[in-house]
Amino acid sequence: MATIFSKIVKGEIPSYKIAEDEHYYAFLDINPLAKGHTLVIPKQETDYLFDLEDDLLAGMMVFSKKVARAIEKAVPCKRIGVAVLGLEVPHAHIHLVPINAESDISFSKPKLQLSKEEMQAIADKIRQSI
């Protein structure tokens, strides 16, 4: 069965898309830790990040760099924090989170409640920075 993230790539489930190429897709996390919290995934369905082939894994980090640079321009922050958990969705993904302090990337803190309009505005701003 297709993962929820594969359904997002295919457009069967809506997402706030940030970037896409042949191999990767980036979109806003629906329950963000911070404004601009983005997920980068390979289009290939693989559960565990470190099961990806070397080239696909390396390319995913280069793609993430491009997305992170755009988030930095769109969302004021000290830097983009990077995290990999994968405990909820069995489709490899990298979290890119704008941070100013270590606690900003704590996954046990309450998630932000943002309106659709706010999410769309953030996605538009990041996309324009790519």
Catalytic residues: 93
Residue found under tokens 């706010």: 118
Q: How far is the CB of 73 from ligand 5GP (least distance, A)?
A: 21
**For 128, what's the count of Cα atoms within 13 Å in the CB-facing half-sphere?**
8
86 makes contact with ligand 5GP (CB under 6 A): yes
> Using CB under 6 A, which of 89, 112, 121, 130 touches ligand 5GP?
89
Only one of the segments 23-31, 41-49, 58-66, 122-130 lies at the binding site for ligand 5GP (rule: CB under 6 A); that segment is 23-31
The answer to the question of residue 58 lying near ligand 5GP (CB under 6 A) is no
Does 82 participate in binding ligand 5GP (rule CB under 6 A)?
no
Helix or strand (DSSP H, E) at 56: helix 54-74
The one-letter code for the residue type at 37 is: H
88 binds ligand 5GP (CB under 6 A): yes
| Sign for the pseudo-dihedral over CA of 128, 74, 69, 97 | negative
Sheet of 24-28: strand order equals 17-20, 24-28, 38-42, 94-99, 79-83
How many amino acids of this chain bind ligand 5GP (CB under 6 A)? 15
Q: Which residues bind ligand 5GP (CB under 6 A)?
A: 4, 13, 15, 27-31, 39, 85-89, 93
